[in-house]
Structure 1
């Protein structure tokens, strides 16, 4: 067995192994996309649609990866130059798409407070209105993240939607409270939801951003392997 045949065999098996790993990255990407979508959906009333586009895009990329893995495996097993080249091309496209998601996540993260502040003020004015969803989400954010108002509790005091009073969700209600409880600015959570909620959203975007960029770098290995295999097969045919 000559050197080219040995290199071709090793490249083929490495590419097959890589495709198994590649399929796993698809599962990871879909899982991350679904998780991020679930996190954002919980507070969808307060968020811009751009946050959902990033998670949806990530899910689509994960599904595409399974389709691409087929070309990679078939091309490696059959040593088909066309399929291997197609696999390399599709990998480059996915690599670019994942970098786009990573960059989009970075840009969204840097503008999170800018997007949030308008929505928080707008929805605060609709608290206790006919739109019960907004009331539920605001209470959920304040209870879960231990925050009150946009900047602080004063935002509720200045709001007519609560008749210049604080919602009960602004205060940690003592355990065992069975009678009337008065939520006062002194008893309220000291931090505003713009900062706390913003940090929560940023941490989830960082998670998405890190996975997208990290896996795109791993996939560079597949691009190198598939290009090498296609080159070896082509040179072998030319030799024959």
Structure 2
């Protein structure tokens, strides 16, 4: 009975890690695609290295490597791989919890930093003339998707207001611009999705704890079986 349960646990762990591996490959591929086709430099020049493409690329690499270790360790019943898988999951959970705590503790400072960086990006987009279309395309995308204009309002653009700020009567003297700035819109969007983000982090931590429990259970079973050569 116990052997059957352990075998079921082993193949369940293999299947779960194989699915995570496929998801990691998909995220990695999507990150590479975004990095090649989308360049977010004019919007946030200082935070350009932390854009979504880089984050997806790093997340895909981490998910792929960790899930591969878990899959191979469970399939081969290798104690070294299982222990490495356990430690990596533990470190990832610590990093996630630390990042969540830092975001809560330094929420004001992060908001100020993002505002300053957006200001630099907007000034860069306004100051360029040769590639103005390319540089403002990122702002156009954000302003159209979030229904906002500038950082605080349309006055941030001065006399170079892009068409994406227009709401009504774009080609008439009575033109109407989008009333809200992108900064407050982004803040409201984050606040509206705060609960969803928190629940996602909790679910992710629960999955990681289950993965650690499965890995340690198999590790202890292999140790009791006397398979010392697999260390």
Normalised by the shorter chain, which TM-score bucket? 0.5 to 0.7
TM-score (ref. length: structure 1): 0.65
Query: 1:4-40: per-residue Cα shift (whole Å, max 9, x none)?
Result: 53443233223223322432453565478679979xx
Query: 1:157-191: per-residue Cα shift (whole Å, max 9, x none)?
Result: xx4xx2xx75544322449x6xxx2255xx22222
In structure 1, what is the equivalent of residue 73 of structure 2? Answer: 75
Structure 1 residues 68 and 171, CA gap change in structure 2 (3 angstroms): closer
Structure 1 residues 21 and 138, CA gap change in structure 2 (3 angstroms): closer
TM-score (ref. length: structure 2): 0.67
CA contact (8 A) 1:101 1:209 kept: no
Pairing partner for 1:225 from 188, 207, 214: 214
Rounded to whole Å, the distance in 2 between the matches of 1:48 and 1:202 is 24
Structure 1 residues 111 and 231, CA gap change in structure 2 (3 angstroms): same
In structure 1, what is the equivalent of residue 85 of structure 2? Answer: 87
What SS does the aligned partner of 1:172 have?
strand
Pairing partner for 1:193 from 178, 182, 201: 182
In structure 2, what is the equivalent of residue 182 of structure 1? Answer: 173
Which ranges in structure 2 are unaligned for 5 or more consecutive residues?
none
Q: How does 1:1-240 map to 2 (within 5 A)?
A: 4-27=2-25, 30=28, 44-47=41-44, 49-50=46-47, 52-53=49-50, 55=52, 56-99=54-97, 113-125=111-123, 127=126, 129-130=128-129, 132=132, 133-156=134-157, 159=158, 162=159, 166-174=161-169, 181-182=172-173, 184=175, 187-199=176-188, 214-237=203-226
Superposition deviation, residue 79 in structure 1? 2.5
Rounded to whole Å, the distance in 2 between the matches of 1:183 and 1:193 is 22
How many pairs are equivalent?
223
Cα root mean square deviation, aligned? 4.3
Which ranges in structure 1 are unaligned for 5 or more consecutive residues?
none
